[in-house]
Copies of this chain bind each other. A is one copy, B any other.
Amino acid sequence: MIDKERLAAHLEAVRRGSPLVHNITNYVVMNNSANALLALGASPVMAHWVAEVEEMVAIAGALVINIGTLDGEWIEAMVVAGRAARRRGTPIVLDPVGAGATSQRTQAAWRIIEECTPAVIRGNGSEIMALVNSDVRSKGVDSSASSDDALEAAKVLAERTGAVVVISGPTDYITDGTRTETITNGNPIMTAVTGMGCTATAVVGAFVAMGDDVLLSATHAMAVMGVAGERAAKVAKGNGSMQIAFLDELYNLTGEVLKNEVRQ
């Protein structure tokens, strides 16, 4: 169980500190991720040119790497940026979108893990399982894994990589292999909005940039996602208005609301 006062204080710290979050992410979600970070008071920058990523990551508080629309050149930029972040001690958050759907995605995720040592890996159940067991095949970018199997895989992945592993789902699991936190907020309509998981990864980036405990930071970020998503679902009329209401809820979310509504 997390300390709710500390959770509330962390949100306020992000709003006050306005960390620069450097994203190398996919085309589909760039707009949403940038708006979600702005809604929290963070400062997003998207930059993927291999010639400039080292300079950009040098001024960032966190690096978010998302392989949702990868290709060879983008992987090179991710690795170059990730190595630079590693050298500087800047935390990296990896989103292995579609791992298991194609072998290129699974391999790219593992290359980034090995060369850049991310602080956090966030995916859905299928993606996390595919990283641990190469026999698991995902159906595209959506999850079909059971949460028990996925949690087991998350613990194995955390132990093998040293990263905190986050699985998004009806219950979010956040584990370092030994300690596991859960967040049970959220609403199923979140899965009908493209890039909601990618947005969670970006939000984790903002929280690790302003936190010292990685497991707590990732848990706090997932609490923010879940509470904002749950509140947005109450006013959404479909997945279109859900995408917009979610940003509005993030924008207005206070530490007070967060600590009253979070459920573990």
Contacts and interface: CB of A to CB of B under 8 A. Distances in A.
A237 B232 CA distance: 12
B243 A237 contact: no
Contact of A29 (B31, B48, B246): B31
A79 interface: no
Interface of A: 20, 22, 26-32, 34-35, 38-39, 43-52, 55-56, 59-60, 68-73, 98, 101-105, 137, 139-142, 191-195, 237-241, 243-252
B51 A69 contact: no
Contacts of A56: 101-102, 140
A247 B238 contact: yes
A31 B52 CA distance: 25
This protein's copies in its complex = 3
Given A49-B72, A51-B72, A244-B244, A195 B31 contact: yes
A192 B105 CA distance: 33
A44 B69 CA distance: 12
A55 to B, nearest CB: 4
Given A20-B139, A30-B27, A38 B244 contact: no
A52 B238 contact: no
Given A72-B51, A240-B244, A31 B28 contact: yes
